[in-house]
């Protein structure tokens, strides 16, 4: 049996490893577009600041892949899929046969359709980090367009390297997809104390020689501009091969596409109308696909989204529905420590939660959100954590 996994990110590397272990007689080939061996993309910020090197971030080295029986093809860009011949074809004429194909092509960073954005550096891979480190070596001003997680990570990294950084964000607080306004404002204030400035809400008009021009006419000075405004699932191969694609590549519970020989996992896949953007569900999808290819019962069962993150050393956590308009909320805030949490309840069920600072009760809240079990009375005690609701939990 020949299995080809296209994409050597966390999901692809995990799937290839599981397949090699389950099917020792199979020929498992892992294709990576970058020259590097699979590495922890979530930890790119450590590479940016110099807190870690590539060897430290490598999760599946060349020797380890070979020892596991995985044929690794780095630096190979796949141009198309021939579903009739069951082959993937590289841009230089390479051809790899498959009995089962796993697409783990991830996402591509979005480049805004505005004047001058071709000057900006994206923040997605090793080449982007190298460009940012080269610019930081000369010092000066930097601007980051986008106040999501990647944008803040880029800003913190450049600031740690000595640059004066401004984050330009169209919303009133950063990380609005994971945090409510209360947690977001606290995060911006804490990062501000570390020297990172914010222009928000602010809309970008374009990028010029001197920096970022805003729609109000003001200029944010910058020698380097980093664009971190989101990602789109990389579905080009699947779409051109005629597979079903909506936002991502449409898959069933076994991560199988509408071609029974082709699977899709990670950020490029769309399961039950949802495209995942976190590592944990991507790895769960990799396990489901590997099991299915090995002939085992396979079913990917997503859990409510939960993001446990450290932004420049500041812990934040969120899960479920954030700021649901039809839910009531409970807020606990400590001015002395800066800790903050907010819970959203619909009826007698916890449907969402955000924490800033102290996040030790995250498992407690995630359990209520995941299971839907009733919140004990008095409901207000939920904001204080498990030790305050006693046997009712």
368 and 222 within one domain? no
350: in domain: yes
- The total of structural domains in the chain comes to 3
Per-residue pLDDT for 325 more than 90?
no
Mean pLDDT of 4-32: 97
66: in domain: yes
243 and 194 within one domain? no
* Residues 125-141 pLDDT 10s: 999 999 999 999 999 99
Using CA atoms, how far apart are residues 53 and 50, in angstroms rounded to an integer? 7
Choosing from 266, 293, 320, the residue where a domain stops is 293
* Residues 159-198 pLDDT 10s: 999 999 999 999 999 999 899 999 999 999 999 999 999 9
86 and 25 within one domain? yes
How many Cα atoms are found within 13 Å in the side-chain-facing hemisphere of 111?
12
Among 144, 146, 156, residue whose Cα is nearest residue 193: 156
Q: List the CATH number of the domain containing 384.
A: 3.30.390.30
Q: Give CA 75 to chain center in angstroms.
A: 22
What is residue 311's predicted lDDT score, i.e. its pLDDT?
77
288 and 146 within one domain? no
289 and 246 within one domain? yes
78 and 27 within one domain? yes
Mean pLDDT of 250-276: 97
Mean pLDDT of 19-47: 95
Mean pLDDT of 224-243: 97
123 and 223 within one domain? yes
Per cent of the chain over pLDDT 70 is: 98
Among 152, 225, 166, residue whose Cα is nearest residue 195: 166
Q: Angle formed by the axes of helices 126-136 and 149-160, to 10°?
A: 40
Q: Angle formed by the axes of helices 181-193 and 149-160, to 10°?
A: 10
What is residue 22's predicted lDDT score, i.e. its pLDDT?
95
213: in domain: yes
Question: 370 burial class (0-12, 13-18, 19+ CB within 10 angstroms)?
Answer: middle
What is residue 293's predicted lDDT score, i.e. its pLDDT?
97
150 and 9 within one domain? no
Q: List the CATH number of the domain containing 67.
A: 3.50.50.60
334: in domain: yes
Only one residue has tokens 């190979």, namely 76
Using CA atoms, how far apart are residues 250 and 244, in angstroms rounded to an integer? 6
194 and 243 within one domain? no
Mean pLDDT of 25-40: 96
What is residue 392's predicted lDDT score, i.e. its pLDDT?
46
Only one residue has tokens 């944010």, namely 220
What is the token pair recorded at 284? Answer: 């769960």
298: in domain: no
237 and 223 within one domain? no
State the average pLDDT for the chain.
Answer: 94
The pTM score is 0.90
Q: Angle formed by the axes of helices 279-293 and 10-22, to 10°?
A: 30
Range of the domain at 318: 306-392
Mean pLDDT of 377-387: 89
271 and 235 within one domain? yes
User: What string of DSSP letters covers 54-88?
Assistant: HHHHBSS-HHHHHHTTEEEETT--EEEEETTTTEE
* Residues 86-113 pLDDT 10s: 999 999 999 999 999 999 999 999 999 9
Per-residue pLDDT for 312 more than 90?
no
């Amino acid at each position: 049996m020949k299995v080809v996994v296209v994409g050597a990110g966390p999901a692809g590397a995990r799937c290839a490893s599981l397949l090699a272990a389950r099917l020792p007689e199979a020929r498992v080939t892992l294709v990576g577009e970058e020259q590097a061996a699979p590495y922890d993309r979530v930890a790119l910020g450590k590479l940016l600041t110099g807190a870690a090197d590539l060897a430290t971030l490598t999760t599946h080295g060349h020797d380890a892949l070979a020892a596991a029986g995985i044929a690794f093809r780095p630096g190979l860009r796949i141009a198309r899929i021939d579903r009739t011949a069951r082959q993937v074809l590289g841009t230089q004429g390479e051809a790899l046969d498959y009995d089962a194909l796993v697409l783990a092509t991830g996402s591509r960073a979005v480049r805004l359709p505005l004047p001058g954005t071709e000057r900006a550096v994206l923040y997605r891979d090793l080449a982007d980090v190298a460009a940012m480190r080269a610019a930081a070596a000369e010092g000066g001003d930097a601007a980051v367009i986008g106040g999501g997680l990647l944008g803040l990570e880029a800003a913190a990294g450049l600031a740690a390297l000595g640059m004066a950084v401004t984050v330009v964000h169209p919303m009133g607080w950063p990380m609005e997809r994971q945090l409510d306004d209360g947690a977001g404002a606290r995060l911006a204030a804490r990062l501000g104390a570390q020297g990172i400035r914010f222009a928000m809400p602010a809309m970008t008009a374009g990028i010029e020689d001197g920096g970022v021009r805003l729609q109000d006419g003001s200029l944010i000075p910058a020698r380097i501009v980093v664009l971190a405004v989101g990602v789109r699932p990389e579905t080009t191969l699947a779409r051109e091969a005629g597979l079903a694609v909506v936002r991502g590549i449409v898959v069933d519970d076994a991560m199988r596409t509408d071609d029974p020989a082709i699977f899709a996992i990670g950020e490029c896949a769309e399961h039950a109308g949802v495209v995942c953007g976190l590592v944990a569900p991507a790895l769960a999808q990799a396990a489901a696909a590997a099991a299915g290819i090995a002939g085992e019962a396979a079913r990917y069962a997503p859990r409510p989204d939960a993001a446990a993150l450290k932004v420049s050393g500041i812990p934040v956590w969120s899960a479920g529905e954030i700021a649901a308009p039809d839910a009531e909320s409970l807020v606990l805030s400590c001015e002395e420590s800066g800790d903050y949490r907010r819970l959203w309840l619909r009826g007698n069920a916890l449907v969402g939660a955000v924490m800033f600072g102290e996040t030790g009760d995250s498992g407690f809240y995630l359990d209520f959100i995941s299971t839907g079990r009733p919140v004990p009375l008095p409901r207000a005690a939920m904001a204080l954590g498990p030790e305050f609701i006693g046997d009712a939990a």
